[in-house]
Amino acid sequence: MFALIVYVDDFGGSVGQHRDRDRVDSILDLICSFGGVLAPDKVIDSMDCDIKLLGFILNTHATTINVPDGRRAKLQATARTVWQNRTCVLVRTVCQLAGQFMSMQLAF
């Protein structure tokens, strides 16, 4: 016996530049018809908002992508560790720093 588990962490989409509640509802119904469960706090239909999606903060009004404070603090802490141990720093720590930079490239 086995079980197939499908997990979708974040799903973002746009239905256009104007609010179309019927279109949004039909898309949400389609997702639910495949067994998807939607967190009510993640279903945002405001045309002007900040939303956390895929680990970034998207501002729909200013059309900007920002890094949340927690991710920024983690990057700063890792960079500080690399700098403080620059004469003998672990390769793993340098790789962590590089990975954190790479994961944030969408915001730059």
Identify whether 45 is part of a domain. no
Determine which of 17-21, 22-26, 70-74, 75-79 has the lowest per-residue pLDDT on average.
17-21
Classify residue 28 by burial, with Cβ atoms within 10 Å: 0-12, 13-18, 19+.
middle
In this predicted structure, what is the pLDDT of residue 2?
A: 67
In this predicted structure, what is the pLDDT of residue 74?
A: 94
Identify whether 30 is part of a domain. no
* Segments forming the whole domain that contains residue 80: 69-107
Identify whether 58 is part of a domain. no
Confidence of residue 14 (pLDDT cuts 50, 70, 90): low
% of the chain beyond a pLDDT of 70: 78
Q: Which residues pair with 51 in a beta bridge?
A: 58
Identify whether 103 is part of a domain. yes
Identify whether 101 is part of a domain. yes
pLDDT at 93 over 90: yes
Identify whether 97 is part of a domain. yes
SS (H, E, C) 2-27: CCCCCCCCCCCCCCCCCCCHHHHHHH
Identify whether 81 is part of a domain. yes
Distance (Å, rounded) from C-alpha 66 to C-alpha 55? 9
In this predicted structure, what is the pLDDT of residue 37?
A: 76
Number of domains in the chain: 1
Over residues 19-57, the pLDDT tens digits come to: 777 888 888 888 888 877 777 776 776 767 788 877 888
Identify whether 89 is part of a domain. yes
